[in-house]
Amino acid sequence: MKIITRQIAIENLKKYIDQDLRKLALKHGITTYETGRQNKGWKGLVLERLAGLKTNISKAPNGLTYELKSVSFHNKKEILVPKETMAITMINPEELKAHSFFESHCWAKLKTIIFCAVMWYGKNAEKAELIKVTSLDFAETDELILEIKADYDLIRKKLIKYGFEALTGKDGKWIQARTKGAGHGSTTRAFYARTSLVKRIFEMAK
């Protein structure tokens, strides 16, 4: 079995930039809206296939896993910007208390994600081009990474001092910890990349 490393997956995906994912979905037999209801995960399934993966996670030679994240972009006042925040990982309060940023699941996820920007034309749109593919490959001493770490530290301190329920989306410049799921009564929390961070990651892409 051929091992698809993270770098190979990125290179494979870049071959499809500016191509319509809807047409590629039909080509690979992936259902989008044909049943009358949207297959919500269709873009992710197409991207996995284009990357050379048969499952949503592939083991790299060094044992690390990586995943693809599809992020919708749209035009706002003639500028291409992320449509929404991006989920990074669920928060386990005990793990958050116990682990510093560079030991955390949040950092482990962020540094292994392959970010795929996809054009959004509206709900149930007939097309969705792949715009850009990138990853967060920066040293732990990079200014952006240190600012993300500062957000994590702030959220961690708030959890330790005030408890899990005190975590809201208001905290953090680049990442936030907010409820995941429908309604304000949700008892779960997840780390999300703010739209400003998503935009910055793609702006720095080669």
User: ∠ CA 99-200-65 to the nearest 5 degrees?
Assistant: 45
| Distance linking the first and last C-alpha atoms of the chain | 30
DSSP 8-state assignment for residue 54: S
Please give the CATH number for the structural domain made up of 6-203: 3.40.600.10
Query: What is each CA distance from 22 to 19, 41, 111, 124, 148, in whole angstroms?
Result: 9, 12, 28, 11, 34
SS3 labels along 2-46: CCCCHHHHHHHHHCCCCCEHHHHHHHCCCCCCCCCCCCCCHHHHH
Predicted pLDDT of residue 120:
92
Average pLDDT estimate for 12-20: 96
Quickly state the pLDDT bin for 63 (edges 50, 70, 90).
very low
Answer whether residue 65 shows pLDDT above 80. Answer: no
- How is the chain split into domains, by residue range? 6-203
pLDDT (tens digit per residue) in 70-118: 999 998 888 889 999 999 999 999 999 999 999 999 999 999 999 999 9
181 vs 167: CA distance, rounded Å = 15
3-state secondary structure 153-206: HHHHHHHHHHCHHHCCCCCCCCEEEEECCCCCCCCCEEEEECHHHHHHHHHCCC
- Read off the pTM: 0.86
Dump pLDDT digits (tens) for 150-196.
999 999 999 999 999 999 999 999 999 998 765 555 678 999 999 99
